[in-house]
Amino acid sequence: MSSSWRNIPIPDCVARLPCNSAGRPVPANVTWREPDDDGSIPVDRDPELGAHVTCPCTPGRGKPWFGEQCPVRQRQFMLQRQCGLCTEPIAPSAQLMFIGETNAPYYLEPPLHQACAAYALQVCPVLHVSGERIEVALTASYTLGEDRITGVAADGALRRSVFPLGFPPAYHLAVLEFYLAFPATPERHAAPTWLAQYAPKQLPAPTD
Ligand SMILES: [Zn+2]
Ligand SMILES: [Zn+2]
For residue 16, the ligand closest to its alpha carbon is 2
pLDDT of the residue at 1: 44
Q: Strands 63-69 and 134-139, how do they pair?
A: unpaired
For residue 53, the ligand closest to its alpha carbon is 1
SS3 68: strand
Q: Which residues make up the environment of ion ligand 1, defined by Cβ < 5 Å?
A: 55, 57, 70
Q: Whole-angstrom Cα distance, residue 175 to residue 79? A: 17
- What's the sign of the alpha-carbon dihedral 90, 96, 99, 105? positive
Span 97-109, average pLDDT = 95
Q: In this structure, are residues 187 and 139 in contact, taking their beta carbons and an 8 Å threshold?
A: yes
* pTM score, whole prediction: 0.91
Ligand 1 geometric centre to CA of 186 (Å) = 29
pLDDT of the residue at 200: 66
Strand boundaries in 4-118, DSSP class E = 30-33, 43-46, 50-53, 63-69, 96-101
Span 140-158, average pLDDT = 95
Ligand 2 geometric centre to CA of 97 (Å) = 10
Q: Does 3 have pLDDT greater than 60?
A: no
In this structure, of 9-13, 58-62, 123-127, 179-183, the range with the lowest mean pLDDT score is: 123-127
Ligand 2 geometric centre to CA of 85 (Å) = 5
Q: Does 161 have pLDDT greater than 80?
A: yes
Ligand 2 geometric centre to CA of 159 (Å) = 32
Span 92-117, average pLDDT = 96
